[in-house]
Amino acid sequence: MSEERIDTGVVTGADGLARPAWAEQSDLLREYYDTEWGMPVRDEQGVFERLSLEAFQSGLSWATVLRKRPAFRQAFAGFDPDAVAAFGDDDVARLLADAGIIRNRAKILATIDNARATVALRDSGTDLAALVWSFQPAETPFPRTPDDVPSSSDESIALSKELKSRGFRWVGPTTMFALMEAIGIVDTHLIASHRRATSGVWQKLPHAARPGDHGGALPAIECVHRKAEEGRRAERPPTDDNAARCLPDH
């Protein structure tokens, strides 16, 4: 049989580093992927900014939001929750006239309401960042290709429900999963990416695995090759059953 090509889901950039294809679409996306996406954000203002931008991104490309982020920061007072919570009708009119941002009235009003909900949380003794991070799962996904990356999770569904009960809007489960990815609560970097397990929050291997201990889960890159090898031996494509030990415990 001919050698089977292993799809690692990544492309190698001019710098020799492996990234998902979306991160190689522009210098801006590459810089964001390499330095920000998936790194822990644990302060209230930082989480509020990212929650707001994820809401604005809904239905659009992240590249669009990223290009407009400097204008967003200027328009929304650096995403200081106290400042945004004080926005009134004149501010809404100003934002709707600002061509530098995404001029969606519903999303603008939701951002202001979410700032007020953030302040109300704090006044009740609950910090937005601490609340969001309290939904960190026991395990993170181990995606080999972009198709393996989930769009939501039990935790993002629960987080969405909790935030809505606290007065937040535009915080659906998919948007909340994107937030969890962006601020490091889960690690959905592809296992062959140079950014996998670089946040300090998650290890490259499932919690039960140790390098060289094949009684547990296999090292991430080895899983890619082992799945194909086991499939070739059986003269059939690799399946999840072939590679059960590559998956984290649930």
Other CB atoms within a 10 A radius of the CB of residue 213 amount to: 12
Q: Report d(CA 80, CA 127) in Å as an integer.
A: 14
Q: Report d(CA 134, CA 150) in Å as an integer.
A: 20
Q: Is 165 exposed, middle or buried (0-12, 13-18, 19+ CB in 10 A)?
A: exposed
Active site residues: 32, 54, 62
- Is 189 annotated in a binding site? The answer is yes
Residue type at 169? R
* Pairing outcome for strands 18-19 and 11-12: antiparallel
What b-and-e string marks burial along 229-245, b requiring 16 or more CB atoms within 10 Å of the CB? bebeeeeeebeeebbee
CA 191 to chain centre: 15
For the residues of 86-104, what is the DSSP string, one character each?
Answer: T--HHHHHHHHT-TTS---
Q: What is the largest CA-CA distance in the chain?
A: 70
Q: Is 19 helix (H, G, I), strand (E, B) or coil?
A: strand
Q: Is 12 helix (H, G, I), strand (E, B) or coil?
A: strand
Q: Is 77 helix (H, G, I), strand (E, B) or coil?
A: helix
- Closest by CA to 152, choosing from 179, 125, 126, is 179
- Binding site: what residues are annotated? 189
- Binding site for Zn(2+): what residues are annotated? 189
